[in-house]
Amino acid sequence: MEITRSTEYDRLLARHHAMRLRRQILAPAAPPARTPAGGRPGHPYDGTGDQRLILRHLEQVTPFDGLIGHLYDDMFLRRPYLRALFPASMEFQREHLERMFRYLIEHLHRPDHMTAVLHQLGSDHRKLGVRPAHYAAFEEALRAGLRTHAGPGWSEEAERAWMRMLRFAVGAMVDGAESALTEPPYWPGTVVGHEPRGRGTAVLRIRTGEPYPYRAGQYATVESPLLPHSWRPYSIACAPRADRVLEFHVRRTGPGGVSEALVDRTAVGDPVRLGPARGGMTVDGGGRDLLLVAGGTGLAPMKAIVEELTDRRVRGQRVHLLVGARGRADLYDWEALAESGPGRPWLDLVPVLGHDPRPDGRRAMDEALDGRDWSEHLACVSGPPGMVDAVRTRLLASGLPADRIRHDPVTTADHG
């Protein structure tokens, strides 16, 4: 990416904020805390005691949605200018923060296990316009939220444990943001194709201004100017191409979300922004036969993987692609896949039609997987979370080791 004066300036500013914040974080913790703040060099944060304290007083600050409500109320009351950094609807944001609190508390006894996740979170926060200094405002709001939600009997000791946990997380996020400074926080793109494909589904093609690095099987977060600050992940449905065009398959799941904006209110010529590519559902060397299981628009990453293999397949390698859909009309991209059939004799393309379980609890996907030994394959699974879970469990039971089953950590809330 060409470094303009303003991005250069932004980077310097971000680095300056990061350094200042690091000094604050690493400075001896504010009295009366005697335990070192999270992540001080030479004194790695030991969260075991804090985890115990937080858990002991957890009832006072749960359910988390109440705590989070107080936290944001306090933050926007004290610093109204921060509201502009958040989407109009805070629903997704609140759910995300709740998941984060649960994740931190659950893993606090093994802080080192969280580093990679927190680094990426910090790096991803750059596209939201979050500056390291904003974390101080968050800390202040969390403190106020805990006190308001817990009421008069709130334990000072537990509050200090929460603050140390937060400082540990923020320290790792700032590190992540800093080490990603050479990567743009987002890529501006333009919609160059928009094809409705029935049942609220559209295939979008987006051209980025600058080359967008990714591997087949990965996903990008997408933001539409119709819903500023709402970023949702979608898998990229094509292998990297020289013309910088990326394909996405989007299905509208409900009213008012990013998918609805992209399917119903977006047209060729409209701008969008893409966050950096993420996800580990890539297919590397080895040459094992592949089992690709897709449900609905979960087909997107599989299409990219098949395209990539068209050029880079190991000789003799076979690929089985099971495409789950409610009915024939829902096979929204079948023609594109089937068209390439004759040129790809190594690809077994199987439509799996039907949705509801039968009276015996089995589904069409169970039958499609039956009767074959998949234990030597590498499997990728993508689609509704229930399907990913069910297929994963089934493959594990049939002897396929966990490290040969790949899928994204997609939750139901992700595609709103």
Is residue 325 at the binding interface for ligand NAI, with CB under 6 A as the rule? yes
Contact between 297 and ligand NAI per CB under 6 A = yes
Work out whether 208 is an interface residue with ligand NAI (CB under 6 A).
no
Closest CA to 376 of 260, 262, 290, 284: 290
SS3 251: strand
380 binds ligand NAI (CB under 6 A): no
Among 114, 118, 365, 369, binds ligand NAI (CB under 6 A): 365
Q: Which of residues 335-354 bind ligand NAI (CB under 6 A)?
A: 352
- Closest CA relative to residue 221, chosen from 209, 211, 206: 206
**Which range of residues in 63-71, 151-159, 311-319, 377-385 is near ligand NAI by CB under 6 A?**
377-385
Q: Is 363 in the site for ligand NAI (CB under 6 A)?
A: yes
Measured between alpha carbons, how far is 370 from 394 in angstroms, rounded to an integer?
A: 10
End-to-end CA distance of the chain: 31
Closest by CA to 44, choosing from 113, 122, 142, is 113
Taking the C-alpha atoms of 211, 186, 382 and 311 in order, what is their torsion angle to the nearest 10 degrees? Answer: 10
Stretch that binds ligand NAI, among 87-95, 160-168, 176-184, 321-329 (CB under 6 A): 321-329
122 touches ligand NAI (CB under 6 A): no
For the CB of residue 354, give the shortest distance to ligand NAI in the complex, in Å.
Answer: 6
Nearest residue relative to ligand NAI (C-beta): 296
Closest by CA position to 277, among listed 320, 249, 306, 239: 239
Q: At residue 160, what are phi and psi to the nearest 5 degrees? A: -65, -35
Which listed residue (15, 40, 96, 326) binds ligand NAI by CB under 6 A? 326
Options 37-45, 60-68, 335-343, 407-415: segment touching ligand NAI (CB under 6 A): 407-415
Separation CA 112–CA 172 (nearest Å)? 10
What is the nearest approach in angstroms of ligand NAI to the Cβ of residue 366?
A: 7
Q: Does residue 205 belong to the site contacting ligand NAI (CB under 6 A)?
A: no
Residue 221 has φ and ψ, to the nearest 5°, of -85, 145
For residues 36 and 351, which CB has a smaller minimum distance to ligand NAI in the complex? 351
Q: Are 46 and 40 in contact (CB under 8 A)?
A: no
**CA nearest 212: which of 248, 261, 176?**
248
What interhelical angle do 156-179 and 134-150 show, nearest 10?
160
Q: Which of 204, 292, 387, 400 binds ligand NAI (CB under 6 A)?
A: 387
- Distance, CA of 106 to CA of 312 (rounded, Å): 41
Residue 77's H or E segment, with its range, is: helix 64-78
User: Given the rule CB under 6 A, which of 34-42, 103-111, 116-124, 324-332 is the region that contacts ligand NAI?
Assistant: 324-332
Identity of the residue, 390 or 395, whose beta carbon is nearer to ligand NAI in the bound complex: 390
Q: Segment 146-185, which members bind ligand NAI (CB under 6 A)?
A: none
Considering the rule CB under 6 A, would residue 295 count as an interface residue with ligand NAI?
yes
What are the residues binding ligand NAI (CB under 6 A)? 234-235, 249-251, 295-298, 300-301, 324-326, 352, 355, 363-365, 382-384, 386-387, 390, 410, 414-415
